Amino acid sequence: MSGSAHRRHALAIMLALCFCSAQAGGIDPFLTHDKVARTASGSMLDDEDDADPCAFATLGKPLTLSEAVERALCHNPQTRAAWAGAKVQTAQVGVAKSAYLPAVAGVLAYSKQKNVTRYGEESPYSVFNNLPDSKPNLRSGSLKMSQVLTDFGQRSANLDQAVALLDAANASHDAALQTAFVNAAQAYFDTQTAQAVLEASREAERSAQESFNGAEAKYKAGIGGLTDQLQAQVAYSKASLERVAAEGDLKNAQGTLATAMGLSANTALFLPRRQDGLPDTSFVKSADELIEDAKQNHPALLAAQAELKAARAKVDVTRAEGRATVTLTAEVGRNEQHHQPPAVGYEATNISNRNNSLGVQMNVPIFEGFGRNYRVQTAQGQAEIKAAELARLEQQVSLEVWKSYQSLRTETESMKATDILLKNARQSFMVAQGRFKAGVGNILELLSAQSAVANAEQQRIKSISNWHAARLKLAANIGKLGLWAIK
């Protein structure tokens, strides 16, 4: 093969290597991208087809609970940060796998020189001062390859650690999604509760106005006292203030819901009235079964378990770094020197040199000042910390499941009690209202029954809201939260 052919061949190899290096950010030869969610919404939304589950049209009117939660899953900053963290760990898995492939590096060099040689007049070589200056060209190229034959477990330990950290990052992403899910759903429930409270406040205001109008009419007719009119007027003013406060609470709840969905706080939201029916609770089992489910499915526990596995793999990595490595090395090189004068008085010539080498290199750490021993101890201590953290999380999750379970049972009974309370309060108010209109009842009796109805209605609204929150929190605490929980 001629020198020009060698140069073209080497140049082609170098260009190919440069192209692969430049495109490294866009290729995935180890298929690691499949190990992370396609979008920030993760597995919460159905993304099996090519459609983007986070592509939304205009805001729904009325806004459904499903849409509110889906928007929150896609646009919540915490979920997007957790998703980005999972993608980082996915890349680290690729880095760990790349250590099993050979490393290839190429070098191309070109230089031009100008040599000027002048001798003194007394030198016997002064006769060569009239020779032309030499201008040699130097060209060189080499291709080097190295392949680790064995490192006694270091690469495998690194890969195990990277895979475990990826599992932890994916589990952390799931935990962030569940948190965003609960927060968005809770904000939605709070907004619906605020709407219901406002409606109840307006109804209480209307009733108070009717009572005031009745007391005023009796006073003007001379069959009622001024005290009755003033007391009814005070009750009416109080009901009006409570209605104004309820309007402000609704605006605040709407702003909280809008920001949870990634929208501006002043976005106009229109929510439907809360339905009287309650969602399914078939997932609720005994407390013992729910706690066991949580230990198997809770994403925070899965993340902690993966982090513990990664910490133990780090111990193996630290030990393996102190062992010998055996590497296969190979190199192909060529040097060319054009117009190079070999000696004084001779014409310039061309020099070509080729060198090929193949060898095995062993690197054996002999003494590291006892640092390796302490680094292993450090890694072991970090693994013990992760084990303790996992135990703490298991206790915390079991406690949260137990509290959520008891809270759901309590709110279920509370709803039954508030239904009975509201029914009785309304009946009492109707009787008191009839007695007042008939002239056999007094204003205090009417106002007391009226206040009891308003309080019972408020307790019923809050009880229903608390029941929805307890049910959702229980589903989240056992790690099974999904769109099924709001349908």
Taking Cα atoms as reference points, which of 251, 228, 271, 132 lies closest to residue 445? Answer: 228
Burial class (CB in 10 A: 0-12, 13-18, 19+), 382: middle
Q: In the structure, what pLDDT confidence band is assigned to residue 22 with cuts at 50, 70 and 90?
A: very low
- Check pLDDT > 60 for residue 344: no
* Top-confidence residue, 347 or 180: 180
| pLDDT tens digits, 356-389 | 889 998 988 888 888 889 999 999 999 999 999 9
* Alpha carbon distance 224, 214 (integer Å): 10
Which pLDDT score is estimated for 347? 63
Q: For the packed helices 443-477 and 371-438, what is the interaxial angle rounded to 10 degrees? A: 150
User: What confidence score (pLDDT) does residue 128 get?
Assistant: 60
Record the tokens describing residue 291, joined without a space. Answer: 């706690």
Closest of 296, 294, 302 to residue 473, by C-alpha: 294
| Domains of the chain, CATH where assigned | 1-27+103-150+324-364 (no CATH), 63-101+153-322+371-487 (1.20.1600.10)
* pLDDT of 117 over the 70 cut: no
- Interval 283-309: pLDDT, tens: 777 888 888 888 888 999 999 999 999
pLDDT score, position 133: 65
Q: How confident is the model at residue 40 (pLDDT cuts 50, 70, 90)?
A: confident
What is residue 86's predicted lDDT score, i.e. its pLDDT?
Answer: 92
1: confidence class by pLDDT, cuts 50, 70, 90: very low
Q: Which two tokens stand for residue 97?
A: 């796998």
What one-character-per-residue DSSP string does 229-246 give?
HHHHHHHHHHHHHHHHHH
**Among candidate residues 357, 270, 340, 284, the one with its CA nearest the CA of residue 59:** 270
In angstroms, rounded to a whole number, what is the distance separating the alpha carbons of residues 182 and 179?
Answer: 5
Joined together, the tokens standing for residue 74 give 């896609």
Residue 123: pLDDT band (50, 70, 90) is low
Query: Over the chain, what is the mean pLDDT?
Result: 84
Query: Alpha-carbon distance 450 to 200, whole Å?
Result: 12
Averaged pLDDT for residues 21-43: 76
Provide the 3-class DSSP secondary structure of residue 103: strand
Joined together, the tokens standing for residue 77 give 């900053």
Q: What is the pLDDT of residue 41?
A: 85
Q: What is the pLDDT of residues 138-170, one digit of tens each?
A: 888 889 999 999 888 899 999 999 999 999 999
pLDDT the model gives residue 334: 85
Tell me: pLDDT of 7 over 70: no
Contacts of residue 180, defined as CB under 8 A and 6 or more positions apart, other chains included, come to 72, 73, 76, 78, 79, 260
CA distance 468 to 276: 12
Q: Return the residue matching tokens 């949870």.
A: 260
pLDDT higher than 80, residue 335? yes
